[in-house]
Amino acid sequence: MRIWFLFFILIISSITFSGCLREYENVVITSVDVTSSQQEEGTKLTVTPYVQNNLNTDTGVLTLRIKIREPSTNLIVAEKDSDIGYIKSKSYSYNSVSMTVANPGEYGVEVQVFEGGKLVAQNYVPITVKQNSGPGQASDIKLIDVNLVVTKIYSDGSGALVDVSPGIFNQGGDSRPLTIEVTARVDPYTAYTKSDDFGIVKGGESRRAKVTFDIPRNREYSFEVSAVESGKSVMSAKVNEKIKLSEIKYNVPMTYSLVEEGMPVAAAATKKTEPGFGAAFAVGGILLIYLTARSRNKR
């Protein structure tokens, strides 16, 4: 009996430390949008964090604290607090805070969420503030990530309305009118495409498009995003995993990184498929206990 008790403890410990059992965070910052606009003195940054409450109960009153840091010196060049109130159970909220930085360069946007003075969530986003774009400078559009939210489930769970919001960053000059096209693909023969006439994105500006799909919920989708400038595709990217829509909870925002077409997938994206040391320890432990029990039975 003692042997099997040790066996049980070892299995649970190995699974826990290898990450197979994970406790979902209660309050999380799912994404942070940053837009910039040139002022007479400096650049105004507008930071919009999206905060998700995964609890089964409403939160207390939440406060945002946003800091702009210079990574080279770690100095805080701007800081502001903003109350966002409470967030209902299994829901999310967002709030925009504006601050000004004097000089172009590399910055880090640090976002913290406090409840009753206690830190409950934080996030960090690196940004680049560029000098005023010269006249005629070409745009340079980057597709960053995709927010996905199931806003409605109907027909006994077989259909769903899904909001898909790609994040766009223009690191060049002001763009011409942009259209963002999003495709939800089931297979080479079945795909759904929606578009958002996005308009002009200024140089150094980060914004988020939005399209809504009405699609079957019991299928697996790959998502592709294209930025079209004055009728010409200037950037394409895709989510580097298939998404099972039936596994996405109602009204819970999910964020997926976009991989530019033709670019290698980042190592971090494949890291989760690598076996951990915990699994190896578990297997080793099982063999050790089995051999010990077997030797005792022979005696």
- For the chain, the straight-line distance linking the first and the last C-alpha, in angstroms and rounded, comes to 17
- E strands present in 155-210: 159-170, 178-187, 190-199, 206-208
pTM, two decimal places: 0.57
160 and 242 both lie in a single domain: yes
Contact between residue 213 and residue 244 where contact means Cβ atoms under 8 Å apart: no
> What total of structural domains would you count in the chain?
3
163 and 259 both lie in a single domain: yes
Mean pLDDT of the chain: 80
144 and 255 both lie in a single domain: yes
Among 131, 151, 185, residue at a domain's last position: 131
- Find the domain containing 90 and state its range: 25-131
What are the tens digits of pLDDT across the range 224-243? 999 999 889 999 999 988 99
Q: Which of 250, 252, 243 is nearest to 153 (CA)?
A: 250
What are the tens digits of pLDDT across the range 174-199? 899 999 999 999 999 999 999 999 88
pLDDT at 298: 53
Q: Whole-angstrom Cα distance, residue 241 to residue 182?
A: 15
Classify strands 232-239 and 159-170 as parallel, antiparallel or unpaired.
unpaired
The CATH number that applies at residue 30 is: 2.60.40.10
Judge whether 284 lies within some domain: yes
Q: Could you give the count of Cα atoms lying within 13 Å of 173 in the half-sphere of its Cβ?
A: 7
246 and 137 both lie in a single domain: yes
Considering only 3-7, 39-43, 275-279, which range has the smallest mean pLDDT? 275-279
259 and 138 both lie in a single domain: yes
What are the tens digits of pLDDT across the range 250-299? 988 888 888 887 554 433 333 332 333 344 444 445 445 555 555 555 55
Q: Which of 168, 175, 177, 173 is nearest to 209 (CA)?
A: 168
pLDDT at 77: 93
Among 131, 159, 190, residue at a domain's last position: 131
Q: Whole-angstrom Cα distance, residue 210 to residue 195?
A: 8
Judge whether 269 lies within some domain: no
77 and 191 both lie in a single domain: no
